[in-house]
Amino acid sequence: MKRSNEPVAWGLFGAGGMLLALVGPGLVVATGFLLPFAEPAAAFHAVDALIAHPLGKLLLLAAIALPLYHTVHRLHHGLQELHAPLPHGLVALLCYGSATVLTIASASWLLVR
């Protein structure tokens, strides 16, 4: 029997789900409620300082990329489960491809900042 490459997708899916469960509510509170009501200059400097630090960059990348892979994995398998009459390979390519493109874009932006 041929070894499946699904562990890669499932690993990213699992990591994303775990991260969302742990920091998701905190992110919603911080970005949705606290930042909009904070003093704009102070909020900008706080976020800027986070992005300036390598560890902050890494955390942000993880908080962006892993939930992305989590979401597209759900979409991919959800569409299959709903018996959507779409070509399996193309759906996989679009899902994981878009997550990868967005991950690379975020990483590049974080690196040049």
Partner 1 sequence: MSDSIAIYVARYRPGQDEAPTEQRYDVPLSTDLSVLEALNYIKDELDPTLAYRWSCRMAICGSCGVMIDGEPRLGCKTFLREFADRGELHLRALDNFPVERDLIADVERFMDHLETVKPWTVHNSERPVSEGEYRQTPAELERYQQFSQCINCGLCYAACPQFGRDDSFLGPAALTLALRYNLDSRDDGSAGRMAALNADEGVWRCTFVGYCSEVCPKDVDPAQAVNRGKVASTINYGLNLLRLARGEHDT
Please give the residue ranges that form the binding site for partner 1 (CB under 8 A).
1-4, 6-8, 10-11, 77, 80-81
How large is the angle between the packed helices 54-81 and 40-52, nearest 10 degrees?
90
| Nearest to partner 1 of 18, 28 (CB atom) | 18
Closest CB 1 distance from partner 1, rounded Å? 4
SS3 9: helix
| Nearest to partner 1 of 3, 32 (CB atom) | 3
CA distances from 34 to 28, 82, 112 (A): 9, 38, 27
Closest CB 2 distance from partner 1, rounded Å? 6
| Nearest to partner 1 of 14, 24 (CB atom) | 14
Contacts of 49 (CB under 8 A, 6+ apart): 56
Closest CB 48 distance from partner 1, rounded Å? 36
Question: Do 111 and 57 touch, CB atoms closer than 8 A?
Answer: yes
| Nearest to partner 1 of 12, 63 (CB atom) | 12
